[in-house]
Chains A and B, each alone.
Chain A
Amino acid sequence: MNNKVPNNKAWLLVLPMLVLVAFSAIIPLMTVVNYSVQDVLGPNASFFTGTEWFKTMLNDEALQAAFLRQISFSLIILAIQIPLGIGIALIMPKRGWQASAVLILITLPLLIPWNVVGSIWQIFTRGDIGLMGWGLRELGISYNITGDASDAWVTIVLMDVWHWTPLVAMLCYSGLRSIPEAYYQAARIDRASKWAVFRYIQLPKLTNVLVIAVLLRFMHSFMIYAEPFVLTGGGPGSSTTFLSQSLATMAIGQQDLGPSAAFSLIYFLVILLVSWVFYTTIMHMQKDKPPHGGA
């Protein structure tokens, strides 16, 4: 459907949305920009600092460490969730009541409030009352998320895989469903192996949804806050403190308006930059898509 009509009156249809989003995006963002270049000492006492806060934030070692943790976290969960999601989508039943039942079950973790996800895993991994913590202890494996940094990391990654793999699986499942049965028949006539079917029929059809999956997973994992906050509180030490938590502590806890505003802008810009790369990739792919592909 690429035959859109040029019509500037369409702005009228967009306007109500624009007003609302502007209210909740532009005004607050302007406040952040405003704070990021000032030192606010009191209600009427503030002076212009220019780029000083930005320099301070970029050179802050605690934040650099949080940034590195954040990047490694996002890469680890993407490396696990994308292949696992594809795998699950491939073995999900395609029709009948089983398909509906599996769909509902698989979506379940996505619909749990994020802090409850944290609580569930906190309970589940506790050594005294949690099934996993207790089970590991009975097996003689030392496991303590409040004391051991690597245990905490493994648990957070596991929790995120549990929480978000369903999203990747659902996206891939919908991509797989759009493949016409005729393609598989052609493959069967050619006696194509399972791997060949996956590599030359299923995977190409999945690229579109996989870009969306990677984009959404990257974004959400980069903003992760509630789950690790409830599960480990960022600890032990600061080994699982990610960017959002550092920012919330700085902005709300310590009320450092200027530095936290500068930090906010840098944080936002990093996500924007990565997302822009993805967006142009999607647009580029849609341009190259052959005219017969997908309805």
Chain B
Amino acid sequence: MSYQLENTQRGEKYNTIFSKVSSTKRRNRTARAHWRSRILLGLYLALMILPIYWLINMSLQTNSEILGSMTLWPQNLTFDNYIGIFTNSSWYMGYVNSMLYVAMNMLITICVALPAAYAFSRYTFIGDKHLFFWLLTNLMAPPAVFLLPYFQLYYSVGLFDTHIAVALAHCLFNIPLAIWILEGFMSSVPKEIDETAYIDGYSFPRFFVKIFIPMIRSGIGVTLFFLFMFSWVELLLARTLTATDAQPIGMIMTRTSTASGIDWGTLAAAGVLTIIPGILVVYFVRNHIAKGFALGRT
């Protein structure tokens, strides 16, 4: 990766020299193309943001304003919807529950996926290809298939309606995903590093923790981002495995529709609050995320 970076930087240097040489006419044409692509991108982003903007807009209005008239921005700005959520424990516990099982899932997954990904990236062993394919098949299993068996399984072992049940259930797709991404990142670390460390007298656990893990920091960061993403957005399994004590926020949101109609303001505010953790997480990994999306393989 560092080699590649160096390469692009060198490339950019050549590039600037090159553009000085080229004619002004050519430069004008590229500048126009540049602006055209910026405008197209801006247009796409604007259209993409629009539904989210509408949600934020509604979360800052009272229900009477939402239903009463069409306003493109809040006329009487109100934070009551948010205050209502933050002062009601049955509401904010939904966020706590969701965060808890997501965090547990990330911790469990990364702990078992790191050694497994190392094994797949460095060694061949009996049945490795079949094992890897079997792992990927779990990524493809529709959660709906597992609804009923999960319910019965976790109920019979007494884990129903606990955070750990959801965390374990999400391992079904998160562990294969983590191994897939980590294996890509690990394979781009030269094998000579491992060999040198062993010659220097490092034991495997010490080498793994002291040398190898710091080397693939960015890969681990990106993997954690993906684990967060897929555990945070999943609702079907989380909903089936919980009743009251560990109910995710997505399920609590359905409570806004009552006999007297839907509480649109609160629904919108709750929706906005589910987007914020994602923004925070993506901000931390923004520099490595592109490589992560290619599963560490570019």
A residues sitting closer than 8 Å to B (CB atoms) are 1, 3-11, 13-14, 16-18, 20-21, 23-25, 27-29, 31-32, 35, 88, 90-93, 100, 102-116, 119-121, 123-124, 128-132, 134, 162, 166-167, 170-171, 173-175, 177-178, 180-182, 185, 188, 194, 208-209, 212, 219, 222-223, 225-226, 243-245, 247-248, 251-252, 257, 260-261, 264-265, 267-268, 271-272, 275-276, 279, 294-295
Nearest-neighbor residue (CB-CB) of A219 within chain B: B140
Provide a sorted-by-A list of 11 A–B residue pairs whose CB atoms are within 8 angstroms: A92-B41, A93-B38, A104-B282, A107-B289, A108-B49, A110-B229, A116-B253, A170-B289, A174-B291, A257-B148, A264-B142
Nearest-neighbor residue (CB-CB) of B36 within chain A: A91
Q: Is B41 in contact with A88, judged by CB distance below 8 angstroms? A: yes
* Chain B neighbourhood of A178, CB < 8 A: 4, 294, 298
Q: Is A1 in contact with B142, judged by CB distance below 8 angstroms? A: no
Does any Cβ of A come within 8 Å of B78's Cβ? no
Name the one of A104, A115, A271 contacting B142, with C-beta atoms under 8 angstroms.
A271
User: What's the least CB distance linking A101 to chain B, in Å?
Assistant: 9
A194 to B32, CA, bound (A): 14
A141 to B45, CA, bound (A): 25
Nearest-neighbor residue (CB-CB) of B57 within chain A: A131
Q: Is A248 in contact with B144, judged by CB distance below 8 angstroms? A: yes
Q: Is A21 in contact with B138, judged by CB distance below 8 angstroms? A: yes
Closest 6 CB pairs of A and B: A181-B11, A111-B278, A28-B149, A91-B37, A178-B298, A10-B123
Within 8 A of A (CB), among B277-293: 277-279, 281-283, 286-287, 289-293
Q: Is A175 in contact with B294, judged by CB distance below 8 angstroms? A: yes
Q: Is B290 in contact with A170, judged by CB distance below 8 angstroms? A: yes
A260 to B147, CA, bound (A): 11
Q: Is B236 in contact with A225, judged by CB distance below 8 angstroms? A: yes
B residues sitting closer than 8 Å to A (CB atoms) are 1, 3-4, 7-8, 11-12, 14-15, 18, 33, 37-38, 40-41, 44-45, 48-52, 54-55, 58, 66-67, 70, 72, 108, 111-113, 115-116, 118-126, 128, 131, 133, 135-150, 152-153, 168-169, 171-172, 175-176, 179, 187-188, 190-191, 229, 232-236, 240, 249-250, 253, 264, 267-268, 271, 274-275, 277-279, 281-283, 286-287, 289-295, 297-298
A171 to B292, CA, bound (A): 9
* Chain A neighbourhood of B138, CB < 8 A: 21, 25
Name the one of A93, A166, A252 contacting B148, with C-beta atoms under 8 angstroms.
A252
Q: Is A111 in contact with B116, judged by CB distance below 8 angstroms? A: no
Q: Is A24 in contact with B168, judged by CB distance below 8 angstroms? A: yes
Q: With contacts A225-B236, A268-B145 known, is A10 near B125, CB below 8 A?
A: yes
Q: Is B148 in contact with A260, judged by CB distance below 8 angstroms? A: yes
Q: With contacts A6-B123, A119-B253, A251-B147 known, is A113 near B55, CB below 8 A?
A: no
* Chain A neighbourhood of B268, CB < 8 A: 123
